[in-house]
Amino acid sequence: MSDDRRGSYRRWLERSSTATIFVYSALIVAFFPAFHFVLGATPGVPPDSLALRLAAAAVAAAVAIALLVAPKLRRYSPNLQLLNVLPTIVASPILVVNSGNNPSYIAGSLVLAIGVQQAFYRTRDFVIVLATTLGVEVLYSAIRGVFFSPANLNALALSGSGFFVAMAAGILRLRVQRNERELRSIVRDRTRELSEANAKLEEMSVTDPLTGLRNRRFLAQHLEFEVAAALRRTGDVPDADLLFFLIDLDHFKSVNDTYGHNAGDLVLMQMRDRLREVFRESDFLVRWGGEEFLVVTRSSRRSDACEIAERARTAVAGRPFALERGQRVEARCSIGFAAFPFVPFSPRALSWMQVVALADRALYLAKERGRNTWVGATAATRIEPEGLAERLAILGIDALQDGTLHLLVPK
């Protein structure tokens, strides 16, 4: 029996009331003597069998009374099942020796044998009970002077056979249980391996293979929750904004053309490290495509956007990128950014995707201003949020001229 099965059996014993254990113990012993008593005398049964039957019933009662007066036995005895089968160990020899080879008693003895075997989870326990029971049978039949009686020998043989049949059934049961445990273990291991493989596939599907940063799919899966949180916090706390930074390496194509694509890959991987130096672990760092990166800072203040953009620009331009064979290359970047909600007093005026589009327009302006700089797009102080998305879609950069947009640039 498995550890779980053993523990379950012991927990059942501990949970059982005294009355339950009394009935369990008494029925094992009392059924067949009572059966004989009701049917009356059976040929070949000695006249004192009634006293012996009463003695067997008294053993069952003694066990039950012991449990009644000492309930702690259920707590402290790890082999409490032995107490339940002790009456059987005594009753079985009495039934066999007094049977006179009666089929009812022989059948009863076999049933008892199976019942005894089923009470154990270890073969060793069963062998102990088998040896004890047969020993009591032999001793009792010798005391009665019927040891060499053919009927008694037949009964003993049948009783012993019943125990062996029960033991064989028990061994088969244990093997089936062991195979079931092994099968469950295999299924559990395979399920865990499949879950781990699925988790790895899911992680790969949202990760850029070159830089290890997140990709667009990750952003689509996770940003909606952050957007909803930002909308709930708007106006309640000062650091409730999402800041979108689009960062593009300037003249990156020349790096690939001059040093090769392997050098370009090295620059992109070092770009990842420099962005991690500037931004927090809680921020989303996304490879947006090619040499372009999108960073989303969560729970931020829009007033900090210019400072963050300058730190990111300095982290890229402040030191050269290392290539193979000791070579180094200087690189710069342009940055465009915008905050969500774009209009603080009308947080639903633009979606986060429209804010990313504004950051992209700001990046375009940074490129036009000579690169190696940053530009932020914000809403004008006096702005009509009604139809803002449509106006921006039509006007584009020209929205600067009609006062819809305002730019933040380095001083």
- pLDDT for position 254: 93
- Rounded to whole angstroms, the Cα distance separating 83 from 24 reads 11
Fill in the amino acid letter for 86: L
DSSP 207: B
- Rounded to whole angstroms, the Cα distance separating 168 from 166 reads 5
Does 216 score more than 60 pLDDT? yes
Torsion of CA 345, 230, 277, 326, to 10 degrees: -90
State yes or no: is 202 an active-site residue. no
- Rounded to whole angstroms, the Cα distance separating 410 from 393 reads 26
Q: Which helix (H) or strand (E) holds 7?
A: helix 3-15
User: In this structure, are residues 133 and 73 in contact, taking their beta carbons and an 8 Å threshold?
Assistant: no
- pLDDT for position 70: 61
The sign one gets for the Cα dihedral 85, 90, 94, 97 is positive
Q: Which residues contact 128 (CB under 8 A, 6 or more apart)?
A: none
* Domains of the chain, first to last: 3-187 (no CATH), 216-408 (3.30.70.270)
Does 395 score more than 90 pLDDT? no
User: In this structure, are residues 272 and 227 in contact, taking their beta carbons and an 8 Å threshold?
Assistant: no
The residue with tokens 């079931």 is 180
Q: In 3D, which of 92, 22, 81 has the Cα closest to residue 56?
A: 92
Cα 373 to the chain's mean position, in Å?
A: 49
Residues linked to residue 295 through DSSP beta bridges, in sequence order? 245, 285
Tell me how many helices (H) and strands (E) the chain has: 14, 8
pLDDT tens digits, 34-88: 444 443 444 444 544 555 555 555 555 565 555 556 655 544 444 445 544 555 5
- pLDDT for position 43: 46
- Rounded to whole angstroms, the Cα distance separating 35 from 410 reads 104
Q: Could you give the angle at which helices 261-278 and 252-259 cross, rounded to 10 degrees?
A: 140
Torsion of CA 155, 161, 167, 170, to 10 degrees: -90
Average pLDDT, the chain: 74
Does 366 score more than 90 pLDDT? yes
What is the pTM (predicted TM-score) of this model?
Answer: 0.58
pLDDT tens digits, 313-346: 999 999 999 998 889 999 999 999 999 998 888 8
pLDDT tens digits, 82-139: 544 555 555 555 555 555 555 555 555 555 555 555 555 556 666 666 676 667 667 7
- Rounded to whole angstroms, the Cα distance separating 322 from 304 reads 31
Alpha helices, DSSP H only, in 16-80? 18-39, 49-69, 73-76
Q: For residue 304, count other CB atoms closer than 10 A to its CB.
A: 14
Residues linked to residue 336 through DSSP beta bridges, in sequence order? 246, 375
- Rounded to whole angstroms, the Cα distance separating 117 from 302 reads 77
Q: Which helix (H) or strand (E) holds 322?
A: strand 321-322
Euclidean distance between the first and the last CA atom of the chain, given in angstroms as a whole number? 79
Q: Which of 14, 291, 292, 390 is catalytic?
A: 291
- Residue 286's φ and ψ, nearest 5 degrees, are -125, 130
Q: In 3D, which of 215, 205, 328, 325 has the Cα closest to residue 270?
A: 328
User: In this structure, are residues 404 and 383 in contact, taking their beta carbons and an 8 Å threshold?
Assistant: yes
- Rounded to whole angstroms, the Cα distance separating 243 from 286 reads 13
